[in-house]
Structure 1
Amino acid sequence: MQEMVGYLIKYPNVLREVMEGNACLLGVDKDQSECIINGFKGLEIYSMLDWKY
């Protein structure tokens, strides 16, 4: 799951698509996916698209 979080930080456009329901996280079950999305929502980091990894 740590690799998935790192990927979403590196590619925020993918995070946005997942959060909008237009994409899913392959290899991650529904509960883990919800935890990841809720974590980003809690940090409000998903609204920033110019982060550097």
Structure 2
Amino acid sequence: MIHLTLIIVDFLTGLLAAGAWALASAGGAIAALVGGGLLGMSFFRRWRRKG
């Protein structure tokens, strides 16, 4: 009985860790996209002022 409980707890902990990792990597990707877009807009505005 104890072994089964340990397996279930281990599985749930792994699932939680995988979910947290997926959320963190998705958050990082979204932050990179937003940051890249803002940087691109800044460069575009500077380029338009010179032209």
Using the size of structure 1 for normalisation, the TM-score is 0.30
Using the size of structure 2 for normalisation, the TM-score is 0.31
Rg: which structure is higher?
Answer: 2
**Structure 1 or 2: more helix by fraction:** 2
